Amino acid sequence: MAKKTICAMCGREESGYVKMVTIIPGLNLCSDCIEAIDEARDEALAEKSGDAPLEEKHTIPTPVEIKEFLDNYVIGQDNAKKYLSVAVYNHYKRLEDIRQRAAASGDVAPKKRGSKKKDAGDDGVEVEKSNIIMVGPTGTGKTLLVRSIARLLDVPFTIVDATVLTEAGYVGEDIESLLTRLLQACDYDVKKAEKGIVFIDEIDKIARKSDNPSITRDVSGEGVQQGLLKLLEGSTVLVPPNGGRKHPEQKMIPVDTTNILFICGGAFEGIERRIAARLNTRVVGYGKDEVAKKHQRENLMRYVTPQDLKTFGLIPEIVGRLPVLTSLEPLDRDALRRILTEPKNAIVRQYVKLFAMDGTELTFSDEALDAIVDKAVEYKLGARGLRSIVETVMVDAMFELPTTKPKTFEVTAQYVNDQLEKARFGELTAK
């Protein structure tokens, strides 16, 4: 009879669930004990060097500091910035509270939800997670806002397009693929991933197709919303490490989503009609407040409520798990003009740097910038359209100048119009 391999620390025998590592001949340790030794060593080294754990050294920026940072990258949208800054600040205060309560109780890990045990000094109040949903037209800065916050906090961050998600068993990506990408963003460090940020874009595209029951399954609409519930609320999810479809032989990674911040965004095209119907906004009549009424009709998105999201097609359970609702305003001409030049990563600054790498000083006249903005407004392209227009205008120069290498190059309004006409930009963007 073969001699069984036993762990020298805990005494467990090797099996399909317990893996053994031979340290030296005759000395075997299971993987759990090795992990415990590694953690104890790291804590001892940190205590000896006087260094606090990373979580303790990390200071949470205040909402004002978060908004000031966002101002460097996103023009306008002050209301959305305030909502995001407060929500993110409260979320990471909540994580700090969990960490402190766990440290006070002497637990290695924070208590699981539903635990009856009280920590010393614990008042019994548990702050719930507040996921966020942003509503606004395309090209108004939803993705840029979230990406900038993740850069500031230096936490794992991933962007997922909801349009590719389907119910399990159907062609498309499973819900768990959201967490696979988050794990990939932090080199499969589960503890870091469990405190990251997931931005689910195009959330409006998985809205319920109809309130009426159908004989066909809505596998990319309400079915996906039902699958998202467990992630948004907070639960331990088994994630396939390599993404794709799950297989019985594939080893899963358990990830607790309780402390992952989910931010959803969508254009919700057509929701203005539902808001107008709820507000009973009138489009005829005269009076001294006609200008205010006109402005109200032009920016109905600011009056969006959870009820509007429900009538649009989001199921009530999803709306309830996205308690922080904010809207982004459409970008006017002045905002688009500022976006071209003011942010740290402004489009114009990027092209100036590209040309400087080839030894050419690139400049844009004020009239040229105005012409670019006019085209973006004319074709209703938003902030993303600015990049497309500038790319179309500069493509010939970027092709020729690395060879000719002039000292300077100025972009004028006439050059902008000539390049757009040459590329037939209006025909390409016409619907």
Q: What is the pLDDT of residue 45?
A: 65
State the distance between the two ends of the chain, measured CA to CA, in whole angstroms.
Answer: 78
Contact call for residues 265 and 146 (beta carbons, < 8 A): yes
Q: What is the pLDDT of residue 117?
A: 47
What is the C-alpha to C-alpha distance for residues 196 and 430, in angstroms, rounded to an integer? Answer: 40
Instruction: List the pLDDT tens digit at each of the 431 positions of the chain.
Output: 556 778 888 878 877 667 778 877 778 888 888 888 877 777 776 555 444 443 444 577 899 999 999 998 888 889 999 999 998 888 888 888 877 777 777 654 554 444 444 444 456 677 778 899 999 888 788 888 988 888 888 788 888 888 877 655 454 567 787 888 888 888 888 988 888 889 998 888 887 665 554 444 455 567 788 888 888 888 888 887 765 555 555 678 889 998 899 999 998 888 888 888 888 755 454 544 554 454 455 578 888 999 999 988 888 999 999 999 999 888 888 989 999 998 888 899 999 999 999 999 999 999 999 999 998 888 877 788 888 899 999 999 999 988 988 899 999 999 999 999 998 876 656 54
Contact call for residues 327 and 78 (beta carbons, < 8 A): no
Measured in whole angstroms, the distance separating CA 206 from the mean position of its chain's CA atoms is 17
Q: What is the pLDDT of residue 240?
A: 78
Angle between helix 142-153 and helix 63-71 axes, rounded to 10 deg = 120
For 312-380, the DSSP string reads HT--HHHHHT--EEEE-PPP-HHHHHHHHHSSTT-HHHHHHHHHHHTT-EEEE-HHHHHHHHHHHHHTT
Ordered domains of the chain (ranges, CATH): 1-51 (no CATH), 57-106+127-209+217-327 (3.40.50.300), 333-429 (1.10.8.60)
Helix (H, G, I), strand (E, B), or coil: what is residue 198?
A: strand
Q: What is the pLDDT of residue 16?
A: 67
Residue type, 58: H
Helix (H, G, I), strand (E, B), or coil: what is residue 158?
A: strand
Q: What is the pLDDT of residue 169?
A: 46
Q: Which two tokens stand for residue 65?
A: 């500091």
Residue type, 61: P
Q: What is the pLDDT of residue 114?
A: 46
How much is the pTM? 0.71
Buried residues in 351-365 as b, exposed as e (16+ CB within 10 A): beeebeeeebebebe
Among 120, 46, 61, 63, residue whose Cα is nearest residue 96: 61
What is the C-alpha to C-alpha distance for residues 77 and 383, in angstroms, rounded to an integer? Answer: 13
Q: What is the pLDDT of residue 81?
A: 92
Residue type, 21: V
What is the C-alpha to C-alpha distance for residues 25 and 365, in angstroms, rounded to an integer? Answer: 76
Angle at 386 between CA 382 and CA 391, to 5 degrees: 145
Number of CB atoms found within 10 A of residue 216's CB: 6
Contact call for residues 339 and 345 (beta carbons, < 8 A): no
